[in-house]
Structure 1
């Protein structure tokens, strides 16, 4: 196994034919996008796409959302709004790609090849499968085979790097194990194993001031909403009993902790200084500044978001060059797999 790993690492280097580093990032369409999503995943991905040394393939993984059969239509409904949001917020589509997972049959094909060399017990031991069952999901075959599909996502585009959180590190381990099992079975280096980039993004607290910001806890601040809805959500942010003129600790102030995840450096310094001084600056003032800054940061993108949301043909046109690049990568990998298996083509 060590020898195979070394060969694949050499293949990694050989695959970097250009100076660009190819990153694969997956996003699952599961509901309204909030500031916690922006802070943890959207902003880092957009910044990565704006680095001229990178090529980012951002994949909306709608097939993964189908594993919740009680909401099986939601991924299809939510994928376009999610793609529109990334475009509106500044993802650099000129040099990178945004693709929809279900538009790439090569992913399903490679998932089957990987499944055929993987023990069923390995799938049953995956954290994603066990956590889903623990949270009451029905143990469908799709849920069981989730790790194989995830591994195929990672391997199908010959990516060099995959940014993941600590809780997702097992996905890269599974992809690596399955790739090596397949490569050993066919005695060829078919699948190139990318390197994991473990992201150390802090968890953003929700409006309740206790748990992480999550739709399941109903403690979120949306990115795009009406001003009335935003005001209602901001009013819900939990505060302590300190008065208008009392000094306040920004490190324990929920308003400030959420605020600094999206605000400009100048706005962050302004609120931090006034909270510490306290004189004439209460939580009501902080919430008003929060709303104003939210509108300043995200309001400028709302019109563009509405445009992309309502014109799918314009979005298709923007995505087409990236689709062509991603399709080329996926076809190369899948062709290697078919040839290694000596599969025939009569079409």
Structure 2
């Protein structure tokens, strides 16, 4: 049996280029290795930490599922499920919480960032922070450990979550003997931080994203908003410091990328560079966009695929959780 690779995406906004380049693309590339066992999921309960509107959460969850499928995920060759359909994840989350030091949660990046922001603005340190957000890393550890995942593709900002999963697994194994697999993270260094419209990391929090399945006219307008400097067209430009080039190479062929690098170094106008970026992106997205729109219009089809994936998932999670419970002295 090959190594198990696990990737999930949280439905807190429309799927954007950062999601695709940082998570979906590397995960699907790993899927090309036939020796790997693949598990992909829609992290809808993670989304609940921020979204409390029923219809919005449902629509965004379908959007994540449709994106995976439109971009090439084959549910017959992987386990593809919705997090909320696997109750064993949440039972394990409670078990792991009993091994998680509160100090470790205090140091988790998402909580620490919000708490420090509250302090700077003179608010109560925990203002606006719910327990779901505080314990988010424990639920993520349950996602990873329940499937005995060995490889977890993540962006740099997610490394800490895999490290917390490792800490909890090692703590449990030390107490009860080896039961959890110790996961490793995989990072694509060259795409670990995807720049957004303003040059900062592409993030829904910064409102600087480019939705992946945007229709052509809107896509062109968003690309035209990408922040650039005032260098004249004929001036040589450094492709490695350019947001436009960073995005271009993710959708272009090797030959196109080499040629675009040459044009940057010899001098290319920003308007022309943005036009070229739109060309390769729109060409790449055209077919997936059609499939995505078709799936979004058919939620019953998405439900059927996800329910089938949950059945496959629970063939693994039910017996493994039983084994974990026996280790801690809870028998069924």
TM-score by length of 1: 0.83
Counterpart in 2 of 1:48? 30
Counterpart in 2 of 1:8? none
What secondary structure, in the 3-state scheme, does the structure 2 residue paired with 1:240 have?
coil
- Give the stretch that moved more between structures: 327-336 or 310-319: 310-319
What secondary structure, in the 3-state scheme, does the structure 2 residue paired with 1:222 have?
coil
8 Å contact 2:14–2:63 — kept in the other structure? no
What secondary structure, in the 3-state scheme, does the structure 2 residue paired with 1:261 have?
helix
8 Å contact 2:80–2:310 — kept in the other structure? yes
For structure 1, the 5+ residue unaligned runs are 1-17
Question: How far does residue 158 in structure 1 lie from its aligned partner after superposition?
Answer: 1.7
Question: How far does residue 250 in structure 1 lie from its aligned partner after superposition?
Answer: 2.8
Counterpart in 2 of 1:300? 287
Paired residues in the alignment total: 323
Matched, 1:25 2:19: no
The C-alpha deviation readout for 1:264-320, integer Å capped at 9, x for no partner, is 223323333333334xx5332222222222211101211111111122232344445
Matched, 1:167 2:157: yes
The C-alpha deviation readout for 1:227-265, integer Å capped at 9, x for no partner, is 221121122123333444444443344322321222222
Matched, 1:143 2:133: yes
User: Residue 330 and residue 290 in structure 1: after superposition, are their counterparts in 2 closer, same or farther (change >3 A)?
Assistant: same
Which residue of the other structure, out of 297, 302, 312, is the alignment partner of 1:315?
Answer: 302
8 Å contact 2:28–2:73 — kept in the other structure? yes
8 Å contact 1:158–1:329 — kept in the other structure? no
For structure 2, the 5+ residue unaligned runs are 119-126
The C-alpha deviation readout for 1:48-88, integer Å capped at 9, x for no partner, is 12221212111221111222266676433311111101110
Which residue of the other structure, out of 312, 318, 328, is the alignment partner of 1:325?
Answer: 312
CA distance in 2, matches of 1:250, 1:197: 25
The C-alpha deviation readout for 1:12-47, integer Å capped at 9, x for no partner, is xxxxxx2x2111112111112222222211110111
Which residue of the other structure, out of 204, 212, 229, is the alignment partner of 1:215?
Answer: 204
Matched, 1:229 2:213: no
Instruction: Give matches, 1:85-100, under 5 Å.
Output: 85-100=67-82
Larger Rg: 1
Matched, 1:197 2:206: no
CA distance in 2, matches of 1:253, 1:118: 41
The C-alpha deviation readout for 1:104-143, integer Å capped at 9, x for no partner, is 1101111111222334333333333222333556232222
CA distance in 2, matches of 1:276, 1:112: 55
CA distance in 1, matches of 2:205, 2:217: 22
Counterpart in 1 of 2:123? none
8 Å contact 1:97–1:319 — kept in the other structure? no
User: Residue 322 and residue 252 in structure 1: after superposition, are their counterparts in 2 closer, same or farther (change >3 A)?
Assistant: same
User: Residue 203 and residue 307 in structure 1: after superposition, are their counterparts in 2 closer, same or farther (change >3 A)?
Assistant: same
Instruction: Give matches, 1:254-273, under 5 Å.
Output: 254-273=243-262
CA distance in 2, matches of 1:253, 1:155: 38
Question: How far does residue 172 in structure 1 lie from its aligned partner after superposition?
Answer: 2.7
What secondary structure, in the 3-state scheme, does the structure 2 residue paired with 1:219 have?
coil
Give the superposed CA RMSD.
2.5
TM-score by length of 2: 0.86
8 Å contact 2:12–2:51 — kept in the other structure? no
